[in-house]
Structure 1
Amino acid sequence: MASTEDMMMFAIYAKDILVGYSALELGDPPMGVAFGKFVAADAYGEIQHDCQTNHGDQSGLALSVKTPAGGLVPCAGVAILDYSNHVEDGEPAYVEATVLGIPYALYGELFPEHVARYEQRFSGS
C-alpha cells in the first residue's frame, strides 16, 4: 500500500472550517464506507475534545468531506474518532476519519482501489 504522502488527501471540515485531512485509504465498498488516518489541521483543536469523548453522534459538529479537487462528497455522515487520550506511553496516537454512506457510483470513482481489493477477495485470484 502506498504511504499517505503518496495518496490523494481529502479535506475534512467542521461547518466551514478546515479541521484536517485523510487519504481515506481503507474502505468497505458495499457499505459505501471509506476511512483512514486523520491528519489534523490547526483548527482541529477547537473540536478535538468532542472527537475524543463523543464517538456516537457528532452531528452537532456538522462534519463534511471534500475531494482533493474541492468537490463536496455526498454521504450519510462523517466522523472523527480520536483515541489519542487513550494511548499508553510510547504508543503512537491514533485518530481516524470515517465517511459513511457514499453513493455506490461515486464510491467507485473516488476509491477504485478499494473496489478492486474488495472484488479481488471474492474472485479466487
Structure 2
Amino acid sequence: MKTFTVYSGSTLVGHTDLENGDPPMGVAFGRFIPVEAYRAIQKQCIENHEDQSALNLTVQTPNNETIQCAGVGILDYSHEADEEFIEVNVLGISHPPYEKMFPHHVISYEQQFK
C-alpha cells in the first residue's frame, strides 16, 4: 500500500493508505492515522463534518504531489466508539489521474460487473 500524507495548511496532521474508493465519483478514503499535530484540529473534525474548508486540508501522494480535488474531510468518530475511529475522504480527484494513483480501486470496481 502507498502511504499518503494529510496536511492542515502547511502542518502535517496524519497519514492514510486511502485503501478504499469509488472510481466513478473520483473518491478515495481510508483510515486516518493522526500525528501529534492533529490534536490542534481534532475538535473541529469531531464536531464539524459538513464544512472543513477553514482547516485547509490537503493530501499528498507518496511522491509529494498534492492531489487536486474538490475537497478533503476528516471524519472523527472516536468519541462515539470504544477505539480510535477516524476516516479521511478525498472527494472529486482530478489530478494526478485517479486511475494512476488507485489502479487497484479501478480493478475492484470493474470486477463487480464481470
Coarse TM-score class (shorter-chain normalised): over 0.9
> Is 1:110 equivalent to 2:101 in the alignment?
yes
Residue 93 of structure 1, CA deviation: 2.0
- Alpha-carbon distance between aligned partners in 2 of 1:32 and 1:41, rounded to the nearest angstrom: 26
Structure 1 unaligned spans of 5+: 1-6
Would you identify which runs of 4 or more consecutive aligned residues in structure 1 move more than 6 Å?
A: none
1:96 is aligned to 2:87: yes
Letter in 2 for 1:112: P
Q: 1:51 to 1:105 in 2, by over 3 A?
A: closer
Instruction: Name the structure 1 match of 2:111.
Output: 120
How much has 1:59 moved relative to structure 2? 0.3
Higher-Rg structure is 1
What is the distance in 2 between the residues matched to 1:120 and 1:41? Answer: 35
Q: TM-score, normalised by structure 2?
A: 0.96
User: Where does 1:1-125 land on structure 2 (aligned, <5 Å)?
Assistant: 7-87=1-81, 91-103=82-94, 106-123=97-114
RMSD: 1.1
Gaps of 5+ in 2: none
Cα distance in 2, alignment partners of residues 32 and 105 from structure 1: 11
- Shift of the alpha carbon at 1:104? 7.7
Q: TM-score, normalised by structure 1?
A: 0.88
**Aligned letter for 1:76?**
A
Which stretch of the first structure deviates more once superposed, 23-32 or 102-111? 102-111
Aligned equivalents of 1:81 and 1:104: distance in 2?
Answer: 23
- Alignment identity in percent? 50
Q: Which amino acid in the other structure matches residue 73 of structure 2?
A: A
Per the alignment, residue 3 of structure 1 pairs with none
Check whether the contact 1:34–1:100 (CA below 8 A) recurs between aligned residues. yes
